[in-house]
Structure 1
Amino acid sequence: MNIKDRGNKKWTSLMLVEHRKRLQELKENEGQLEKPELDEQLKAAINYKLIKAFEEKLKLEIIHFKINRFKKNRGYLAAINTKDKYILLSQNHKKEKIFLENLIDLKIL
């Protein structure tokens, strides 16, 4: 028995316009994530690791939030800008600017 299911198409004639709009919004926002809020202890631990990695030139793995996604990068700290609150992560002769407010987690490798 082979039944071809048409998904939501079979129900659209019974749905209100508002329901269809809301279903479309849900599909569009399905993959988006919210940036988590870090507590002060975790921020202090990240700050400590950043300073240690910068002074000792250690390799890092950084998880940060960028455009509704979590992104993972590895590299060395090229600079820490405390005025504008960002770091420069050097990886394979490229430098990426990561704002401190977007840092989620940090590991020293």
Structure 2
Amino acid sequence: MIRDRGNIKWNAMMLPEHVKLLREWKAQDEYVKKPELDEWTLQELSEQLQRAYTQKTEVELKVWEEKQIYKTTGVIHKLNTQSGKFYLEDGRSFSFQSIVDISLNLIE
């Protein structure tokens, strides 16, 4: 069995610019394309967002930002339809277009 050191043995011969480009190239492989949502899904997201705001329940959001999908939780404090943003109680803000999924954390 051949035991190769992989990229370690080549790093000494690479310029720092090459190493930087290779790291950026590897990071681009992890990028996620923004999901395209249909009308029905957008309507459902809008209804859940309104329900969470009026009931002041905690929500779990999947938000697409900077070519990644993040999960975050919080209680919606304010909806601003003119700017297309909503604000959580801890001060974070997100645009409506960045939402991929919403789930309500109902406590019974």
Mapping 1:1-109, distance limit 5 Å: 3-7=2-6, 24=22, 26-90=25-89, 94-109=90-105
- Give the fraction of aligned pairs with identical amino acids, expressed as a percent: 28
Kindly provide the CA deviation profile for residues 24-50 of structure 1, in whole angstroms up to 9, marking residues without a partner as x.
474341111111110010100010011
Report the count of equivalent residues. 95
User: 2:53, 2:64 → 1: CA distance?
Assistant: 21
Give the match's secondary structure for 1:60: strand
Structure having the higher Rg: 1
List gaps (5 residues or longer) in structure 1.
11-22
Render the CA deviation track for 1:63-95: whole Å, top value 9, x for unaligned: 0101111111111001111001011022xxx21
TM-score with structure 2 setting the length = 0.75
CA distance in 2, matches of 1:39, 1:87: 21
The structure 1 segments of at least 4 consecutive aligned residues displaced by more than 3 Å after TM superposition are 6-10, 23-26
The alignment's C-alpha RMSD in Å is: 2.4
Q: Structure 1 residues 60 and 9 mapped into 2: Cα distance closer, same or farther (>3 Å)?
A: closer
SS of the equivalent of 2:92 reads: strand
Looking at structure 1, the residues matched to 55 and 34 of structure 2 have their Cα atoms a distance apart, in angstroms, of 30
Residue 74 to residue 28, structure 1, CA distance change in 2 (3 Å): closer
Q: In structure 1, give the amino acid aligned to 2:104.
A: I
- Runs of 5+ consecutive residues of structure 2 not aligned to the other structure: 10-20
